[in-house]
Chains A and B, each alone.
Chain A
Amino acid sequence: MNQVQIVKVLGYYIDAGFIERIIAGFRKLLIDVDAICGRRINEEGLYELYLVVRNHPNLYTAVLNLSKTPTIEKVEVLEYPNTPVQVDACESSEKAFIFCVPKPLKIRKFSWGVVHG
């Protein structure tokens, strides 16, 4: 099993507490977050956040709890055959803000009690 998982959270931003709630979902269950990135993806205020989290026995509970948190639309656990590697793609650029996520092999989706994958 990979040492980390990538969790994608889709939800509606009201204020920056939206990000706090997501982080707290992992913090409350003793799960460490190695990296986080996110952005607004439409004019309706829908955001996507990607978190690289350490594997932990509580991860499933954290994902389930997040998936029923008001303002959060969907939580996806992206699965990879090997642990994705972090690279600094902006190293030689002064302008680019690159936002890319490695293509997962499999996705498990959780949303308000509906589970896919």
Chain B
Amino acid sequence: MKGSKLAAEALKRAGLNVIFGIPGLSNMPLYDAFVEYVTSGDIRVILMRHEQGAAHAADGYARASGKPAVCTGTSGPGALNLVTGLATAYWDSSPVIAITGQVPRSSMGKLSFQEADIPGVVASITKFVVQVRNAEELPKWIKTATYIATTGRPGPVVIDVPRDLFNEDVDEARINWFNGFQIKGYREFQELVDPIMVKKAVELLVEAEKPLMLVGAGAMWSPAVEEIVTLSEMLRMPIVSTFLGKSAVPNDYPLYLGMMGYYGRAEANKAFMDSDVVLVVGARLSDRTIPNVRDVLDTKKKLILINIDPTDIYKHSSYLPVEAYMVTDVRKGLRMLVDAIRKVGLKKDRSQWLKRVVEYREYYAQFYYRDDGKGLKPWKVLKTIRDALPRDAIVTTGVGSHQMWTGVFWESYLPRTFISSGGMGTMGFGLPAAIGAKVAKPDKVVVDLDGDGSFIMTMNNLGTAVDENIPIIAVVFDNRTLGLVRQVQDMFFNKRIIAVDIGPATDFVKLAEGFGAIGFDAQSYEDLEVALKKAMKENVASVIRVPIARDEKALPTLPPGGSFREMIVYEPGANS
């Protein structure tokens, strides 16, 4: 059996049956081996238009389904183009497996055609990378990659395969598929739940005057919707989320205050500031969620952490007031707390606290939901889209102002229905991630909520959506500028606007049509609703352009490095 056939068979046996990528000289033997598997329907091969799109598509697939997906590129530029997508998956803990072609072993180190040291390039932006040295080991490494990518804190893994291994004949009798599989020097995190810590966490939560639950992406991966809501109701404890944790809790749950953080909802940030005890579940407390640690220290709050990754807890404990912690899966940890609190009962009247957070929500609403009738307002555009889509629709986003608007105004109701590049903030993520999500969940409506600057970076993959009959809908918030950068220049660089505005020539409707998709130009909320309904009915790849004023800000925000005490909720004198 050839090494290439061995690899294809191993992928199938490992359940990795969707491959996003582009063939080239060094992974061509692998693609050749795919022919029979594609014909039999065992493997689906999707030709992307750029390898960055392949990595994002595999990432979107993984986040929508919870299962790993594969991306591939040839040696040199093909593999290097995967890099941004792999870093994106690493920062957001998404199980992506990349198989990169490499020049033959005899050509290495000679500046050979399309030679690049991929293991050296990706080592620091992936969970694990291996360069295979022996064709017989291909099944072992494919299985290993799958295991490492999906266990503990999930993350991307790269398998770099010199081309000559694909062409090597392997003695079938010597193939050791996945028998006796073990990985030395790797293990899943041990659960560490000290009953004393649980008792302390329970005491803190029942005795707190103003408790708050902060849910992160780990709560979405778990998922733990029922446990989160149960605990919130038992303790009358409001909930805020990180950006990626939005879909961990139904956003219309009355005690959910929204995303907190740098661009978070004001009432969520205010509730965080006011709280005395915060139960942090599955969140790594990044600098986007808590931009300034003084906000935690000065308010003398006490933190309780539940996280599957103990090193996160140790790191936070070195500079934050962590009073109790549980190293475990979010759902398990919350169940333990629910059971323990059920026995002791609620000891505090939380009505004043709940009244206060409701007042915050009502107060800040006056700043959000403004409409001067001049142009389309982001909040209203998002409301129109939300109303038109089914409750279980999946949305992806690009990165920029539109992403922050979705963070504040989009309502997601089910886990894995809000997919965005949080940690890396990768522009161009939205469209290819939507393609991956739609492949994973073909029966769900999948919408990419994108910005013009972000969309244009990877929109070449629209051709893939058309050719492969992957009917995603891209809604482009078209403000003809890199809005979030412009906003920072405007607000914090003395209005010295430079290198952000995009000219009027680019026509998104014609671009869509040029790729064979349907293009819509929505000039009103009614147009948008009609376009969405038509796109869903036609069930083909579609692009809906929505004009947004260039000076429309993503608010609330903070000054760079600022505290929640410096939150900017509205722009004085602005119309919106």
Those of A31-72 within 8 Å (CB) of chain B? 44-46, 60-61, 64-65, 67-68, 70-72
With both beta carbons as reference points, the residue of chain B lying nearest to A60 in the complex is identified as: B318
Residues on the A chain within 8 Å of B254, using CB: none
Those of B179-197 within 8 Å (CB) of chain A? 183-190, 192
Residues on the A chain within 8 Å of B190, using CB: 112-114
B185 interface neighbour in A20, A60, A72, A114, Cβ under 8 Å? A72
- Chain A CB within 8 A of B523 CB: no
Residues on the B chain within 8 Å of A15, using CB: 119, 130-131, 133
Residues on the B chain within 8 Å of A61, using CB: 315
A45–B184 touching, CB < 8 Å: yes
B184–A113 touching, CB < 8 Å: no
With both beta carbons as reference points, the residue of chain B lying nearest to A11 in the complex is identified as: B185
Residues on the A chain within 8 Å of B314, using CB: 60, 64, 115
Residues on the B chain within 8 Å of A46, using CB: 184
Q: Name which of B120-128, B206-214, B229-237, B562-570 contacts chain A.
A: B120-128
Looking at the assembled complex, report how far the CB atom of A13 sits from the nearest CB atom of chain B, in whole angstroms. Answer: 9
- Chain A CB within 8 A of B309 CB: yes
A68–B131 touching, CB < 8 Å: no
Residues on the B chain within 8 Å of A14, using CB: 130
B311–A65 touching, CB < 8 Å: yes
- Chain B CB within 8 A of A102 CB: no
A71–B185 touching, CB < 8 Å: yes
In Å, the complex CA distance between A24 and B125 comes to 11
Question: Given that A17-B123, A24-B123, A71-B184 are known contacts, is A113 also in contact with B310, CB under 8 Å in the complex?
Answer: yes
Looking at the assembled complex, report how far the CB atom of B246 sits from the nearest CB atom of chain A, in whole angstroms. Answer: 27
In Å, the complex CA distance between A115 and B310 comes to 10
Residues on the A chain within 8 Å of B186, using CB: 70-71
Interface 1/0 per residue, A5-37 and B, CB below 8 Å:
000000110110100110010001000000000
Looking at the assembled complex, report how far the CB atom of B182 sits from the nearest CB atom of chain A, in whole angstroms. Answer: 11
A68 interface neighbour in B129, B192, B311, Cβ under 8 Å? B311
B189 interface neighbour in A21, A70, A113, Cβ under 8 Å? A113
Looking at the assembled complex, report how far the CB atom of B488 sits from the nearest CB atom of chain A, in whole angstroms. Answer: 26
Those of B45-91 within 8 Å (CB) of chain A? none
Interface 1/0 per residue, B298-327 and A, CB below 8 Å:
000000000001110011001000000001
A64–B185 touching, CB < 8 Å: no
Looking at the assembled complex, report how far the CB atom of B521 sits from the nearest CB atom of chain A, in whole angstroms. Answer: 46
A17–B185 touching, CB < 8 Å: no
Residues on the A chain within 8 Å of B124, using CB: 24, 28
In Å, the complex CA distance between A42 and B76 comes to 36
B127 interface neighbour in A70, A72, A73, A112, Cβ under 8 Å? A70
Residues on the B chain within 8 Å of A11, using CB: 185
A113–B185 touching, CB < 8 Å: no
Residues on the B chain within 8 Å of A67, using CB: 311
Residue of A17, A24, A60, A70 ringed by the most chain B CB atoms within 10 A? A70
Question: Given that A60-B318, A67-B311 are known contacts, is A113 also in contact with B120, CB under 8 Å in the complex?
Answer: no
- Chain A CB within 8 A of B148 CB: yes
A113–B123 touching, CB < 8 Å: no
A68–B123 touching, CB < 8 Å: no
Looking at the assembled complex, report how far the CB atom of B444 sits from the nearest CB atom of chain A, in whole angstroms. Answer: 33
With both beta carbons as reference points, the residue of chain A lying nearest to B311 in the complex is identified as: A64
A70–B183 touching, CB < 8 Å: yes
In Å, the complex CA distance between A105 and B366 comes to 63
Residues on the A chain within 8 Å of B185, using CB: 11-12, 70-73
Looking at the assembled complex, report how far the CB atom of A74 sits from the nearest CB atom of chain B, in whole angstroms. Answer: 9
Looking at the assembled complex, report how far the CB atom of A46 sits from the nearest CB atom of chain B, in whole angstroms. Answer: 8
A113 interface neighbour in B133, B311, B318, Cβ under 8 Å? B311
With both beta carbons as reference points, the residue of chain B lying nearest to A25 in the complex is identified as: B124
Looking at the assembled complex, report how far the CB atom of A107 sits from the nearest CB atom of chain B, in whole angstroms. Answer: 17
In Å, the complex CA distance between A28 and B123 comes to 12
Interface 1/0 per residue, B147-165 and A, CB below 8 Å:
0100011000000000000
With both beta carbons as reference points, the residue of chain A lying nearest to B131 in the complex is identified as: A15
In Å, the complex CA distance between A63 and B314 comes to 11
Looking at the assembled complex, report how far the CB atom of B332 sits from the nearest CB atom of chain A, in whole angstroms. Answer: 15
With both beta carbons as reference points, the residue of chain A lying nearest to B184 in the complex is identified as: A12
Question: Given that A28-B124, A68-B309, A70-B185 are known contacts, is A113 also in contact with B192, CB under 8 Å in the complex?
Answer: yes
Residues on the A chain within 8 Å of B131, using CB: 15, 17
Could you pull out 8 A-B pairs where Cβ atoms are within 8 angstroms?
Answer: A28-B124, A60-B318, A68-B309, A70-B127, A70-B128, A70-B148, A71-B128, A114-B190
What is B's interface to A at a CB cutoff of 8 Å? Answer: 119-120, 123-124, 127-131, 133, 148, 152-153, 183-190, 192, 309-311, 314-315, 318, 327
**Closest A-B pairs by Cβ, 7 of them:** A113-B310, A71-B185, A12-B185, A12-B184, A64-B311, A70-B128, A70-B186
Starting from the known contacts A12-B184, A61-B315, A113-B190, 16 additional A-B residue pairs (CB-CB under 8 Å) come to A11-B185, A14-B130, A15-B130, A15-B131, A15-B133, A17-B123, A20-B123, A24-B124, A28-B124, A60-B314, A67-B311, A68-B153, A68-B311, A70-B127, A73-B185, A112-B190
